[in-house]
Every structure is written in structure tokens, then in C-alpha cells.
Structure 1
Amino acid sequence: MNLQLPNIVQTYFQSSNDEDASLVVNCFCAHGTVTDEKVSHHGPGAIKTWCNAARRSFSYRVEPLRVAQRDDPLVVIASVAGNFPGSPVDLSYAFQLENGLILSLEITP
């Protein structure tokens, strides 16, 4: 990854390509939230469940392409390719950070 991203965001993208959901969960604050497909997942347990469900449904890889916005939130456009309809697709990942961890992540088309 050649983009200049905060360490925790780089770690999130690396972890999201791994099979171990706990690596993704470790990127978030204890009160962190992920919103994906218009559904919010609050806290470590819910984020881990979301991550595991995505991995059970599809095999995929996420590759950050560019930073669309450097302010709060930090918005990264990433290509997601896998065995799902419409692959590959570019998605927007909007990160809000707190104390070096991810407070919230919203993933949108």
C-alpha cells in the first residue's frame, strides 16, 4: 500500500484481507461502530460477528486506491474484488479516529 494513511487505517485494510476477525476488531475503540450496507454494528462483539459473516458469505480482497478526503472523516476509496455479484467494486471507507483507533467506519458504494 503506497498511500499515506494513518497506521491504524493501514492495519485495518491489511487485517480485512485476513481470515482472523479479531485482527479487524483490534483496530476499533471499545465503543467503535461499523456501518455497512446501511446496517450499524456497535462494539467488539458485533463488529466481529459482522466480519465473520462477510467472510462466510464471500471470499474477497480489499485494496485501497486513493484518499478522497483527508479531513474528519478520512475517506479512502478501495477496490473490493471477490466471488460476489458485481465484483470488483470501488467502495468508500469513511474513518473517524479516536486516540489512534477507529471510532467509526462507514462503508458505502
Structure 2
Amino acid sequence: MTLSLPDAVSTCFDIINGGDPKRVNACFRPDATVTDENQRHQGLSAIESWQRETRQAFTYKAEPLAAATGNGVLNVRARLTGDFPGSPVQLDHVFVLEQGMIQSLEIKPS
């Protein structure tokens, strides 16, 4: 299933799925935050490091399944499969966009 997602969100999923982490500046605002596994990463450098570290720890793929908007957020439910404990899992990727770029992303269990 192919979802129609904003360009910044599509780029983010490309990075999550093994794309070059240096591309975070193409989809995240400079002061953006990512919250994943109860850890907060703020700013482009921290977000790039988070992606590099996650990729070094595990091999995985995120497949967006459904998207819904409301209250100023875009919630993308994705199936993650890989070599991590508990695979596969469904996670909600909750995006707040500002001027076409990601201001915040929270990744949490569905």
C-alpha cells in the first residue's frame, strides 16, 4: 500500500529505511525534536546521530500502513520488521509539521 505523505514525511521514512542520515536537514527544522524509546533528540545533529546509532544497533524496515490528520498532527502508523526484539511491531509516528518541515516526531507503540 502506498500512502500519499507530505514530502518531509516521505523523506523521513526514506532515512529511517536506510537512507543517508545527513538528509535530516531536508525534512526536519533546525530546532526539531524526535522522541523515540523515551529519549528526546533535539536539533539536526542529534537527530542525525539518533538515526546513525539506531542503524548500527539494528537492521529494520518501516512500512507506513495508514495516515490520519487531526489537531495539527499527522499520525502515520507503520509496521517495523527487523532484527530487534519483538519484531514485527506497529508504531505510531506522530509528526508536527511547520512550513512543510518536521518540527517534532514522536515514535510510540500503536
Task: Return the TM-score normalized by structure 1.
Answer: 0.92
Q: Give 1:21 deviation, angstroms.
A: 1.1
Inter-partner Cα distance in structure 2 for 1:7 and 1:19? 15
Q: Give 1:23 deviation, angstroms.
A: 2.0
1:70 match: 69
| Identical-pair percentage | 45
Given that 1:96 and 1:104 are in contact with CA atoms closer than 8 Å, whether structure 2 keeps it comes out as yes
Inter-partner Cα distance in structure 2 for 1:70 and 1:100? 14
Inter-partner Cα distance in structure 1 for 2:38 and 2:25? 19
2:80 match: 80
1:58 match: 58
Counterpart AA for 1:33: T
Structure 2 segments unaligned to the other structure (5+ residues): none
Structure 1 segments unaligned to the other structure (5+ residues): none
2:97 match: 97
Number of aligned positions between the proteins:
108
Given that 2:18 and 2:55 are in contact with CA atoms closer than 8 Å, whether structure 1 keeps it comes out as no
Which stretches of structure 1, 4 residues or more, deviate above 3 A after TM superposition? none
Inter-partner Cα distance in structure 1 for 2:103 and 2:8? 11
Given that 1:97 and 1:104 are in contact with CA atoms closer than 8 Å, whether structure 2 keeps it comes out as yes
Given that 1:37 and 1:107 are in contact with CA atoms closer than 8 Å, whether structure 2 keeps it comes out as yes
